[in-house]
Amino acid sequence: MSLTTPAARRDLSFHLHPSTNLRSVQAEGPLVITRGEGVYVYDDEGKRYLEGMAGLWCASLGFSERRLAEAAYRQMCELPFYHSFGGKVPAISTELAERLIGIAPAGMGKALFANSGSEANDTAIKLAWYVNNALGRPQKKKIISRQRAYHGVTIASGSLTGLAFAHNDFDLPIARFLHTDCPSHYRGAQPGESEEAYAARIAANLEQLIVREGPDTIAAFFAEPVMGAGGVVVPPATYFDRVQPILRKYDILFVVDEVICGFGRTGQMFGSQTFDLQPDIITVAKALSAGYLPISANLVSGKLYEIILTQSDKLGIFGHGYTYSSHPVPAAVALETLKLYEELDILAQVRRVGPRMQTGIRSFADHPLIGEARGIGLIGAVEIVRDKTTKQSFDPKAAVAAFLVRRAQHHGVILRSMPGDIVAFCPPLIIGETEIDEMMAGFGKALDDTAAMVREKGLA
């Protein structure tokens, strides 16, 4: 895009872009999106793009679901704001809580709402601390997450995140946050090590970390079922089967971050079901409202709720919540989203088209630049390497995956590059098979362009 466009001029005035290379957006101008239709979005010059990332892993029902717009409008007319402090609650929010608990994995008893994934994870940390104070264990406060995890960017959720870009010069992580191995078999396994042996080894590392720190100092372990923004890492076979008994052994809460995996992405309603997880707390956001309005939630186990209840008796109040916890308008949109998932049988849809995307991604596995092609359901990624045999990466300064993503955009497909030269796919769940083919074709052209660039610049 040239700086002479109205959009670029507009942007140069006021917008500080989050999660962006600020210098390059200043030089090249932003991509200004003006409208959406199905799995497509359009820029301000009328060019159409297949949104292969559902925006930020969230627009599960695409970009033109009128029922969600109508639900928001109806709610705006009926009750545009109310809150849930001091024993009050908007009616629609109670309906949403009931429906959410109804579809949640067994054992979840209560829903506590917030506005974003980061806030939900912050809340989960606070709940873990609150519960351990309630249980008379004031030392049991450290939190373990994993390298390359993405749990958000607030001070606490950003500390959970295990990615340098979210820490550097923001003085994160803060004290009490520890990071254990990322479960990437491709990157972490020793030559010839099976998925199971690798899982056992990194689970043993987790146990060693717990023992070294002192089990009575560890409050909770956070994990995404499939890591998203850290590079779409699908856990190796038996990983969670190994990890969960360790958490139980040392009485460590298991917080499952379902912000991406929740609501069908992996082919089951929750990633917890795909990987047979027994969480104490689940955090959800994004596809909870198909991304149409900000809303997130903590689903808290009935067992944990009883402890919180007793502690609030003691203190006189459960002193947590946001002005917009339980906001009725996003709640109405979320409720309509959950109804649509049921009516559309979204799980059957993901299971029907997911294999086409997985086959498409894996059809590039033999390409000399592709180290690994992976995924599950409707989430996937390729990892670009300089040398397929040694798995050697390109110099990060060459920004090879970012180049590929720019070329995909040129070919009308929006994808996302991530640290480690990984390119992610996470389209709206409503995507059809021909649209998947179109997405893979756009990726293929971009990969050809990238291979040509690498040759021309002598990078490989």
Ligand X SMILES: Cc1ncc(COP(=O)(O)O)c(C=O)c1O
Cβ closest to ligand X, residue 207 vs residue 280: 280
Residue 366 burial (CB count, 10 A): 9
Q: Which of 43, 51, 122, 224 forms a contact with ligand X (CB under 6 A)?
A: 224
Q: Does 116 bind ligand X (CB under 6 A)?
A: yes
The dihedral through the CA atoms of 99, 105, 110, 112 has a sign that is: negative
190, with CB counted inside 10 A (0-12, 13-18, 19+), is exposed
List the interface residues with ligand X, window 14-73 (CB under 6 A).
56-57
Longest Cα pair distance anywhere in the chain, in angstroms?
Answer: 69
Least CB distance from residue 100 to ligand X, whole Å?
Answer: 17
Q: Does 152 bind ligand X (CB under 6 A)?
A: yes
Least CB distance from residue 287 to ligand X, whole Å?
Answer: 11
Q: Does 228 bind ligand X (CB under 6 A)?
A: yes
Cβ closest to ligand X, residue 57 vs residue 394: 57
Q: Does 117 bind ligand X (CB under 6 A)?
A: yes
Extract the tokens encoding 11. 């942007």
CA distance 460 to 452: 11
Q: Which residues contact 133 (CB under 8 A, 6 or more apart)?
A: 311
Q: Does 370 bind ligand X (CB under 6 A)?
A: no
Q: Does 163 bind ligand X (CB under 6 A)?
A: no
Q: Does 443 bind ligand X (CB under 6 A)?
A: no
Q: Does 417 bind ligand X (CB under 6 A)?
A: no
Q: 325, 335, 344: which is closest to 103 by C-alpha?
A: 335
Q: Does 118 bind ligand X (CB under 6 A)?
A: yes
Q: Which of 140, 142, 146, 151 forms a contact with ligand X (CB under 6 A)?
A: 151
Residue 426 to residues 106, 380, 401: CA-CA distances in angstroms? 27, 7, 16
The count of chain residues that interact with ligand X, using the rule CB under 6 A, is 16
Q: 112, 142, 233, 113: which is closest to 182 by C-alpha?
A: 233
CA distance 301 to 298: 10
Least CB distance from residue 358 to ligand X, whole Å?
Answer: 20
Q: Does 334 bind ligand X (CB under 6 A)?
A: no
Q: Does 260 bind ligand X (CB under 6 A)?
A: yes
Q: Does 292 bind ligand X (CB under 6 A)?
A: no
The dihedral through the CA atoms of 166, 168, 171, 177 has a sign that is: positive
Angle (CA) 382 384 390, round 5°: 120
Q: Does 234 bind ligand X (CB under 6 A)?
A: no
- Residue 270 near residue 221, CB atoms below 8 Å: no
Q: Does 124 bind ligand X (CB under 6 A)?
A: no
User: Of 67-75, 214-222, 254-262, 306-314, which part binds ligand X (CB under 6 A)?
Assistant: 254-262
CA distance 296 to 280: 17
Least CB distance from residue 419 to ligand X, whole Å?
Answer: 14
Least CB distance from residue 290 to ligand X, whole Å?
Answer: 14
Give the footprint of ligand X on this chain (CB under 6 A).
56-57, 116-118, 121, 150-152, 224, 228-229, 257, 259-260, 285
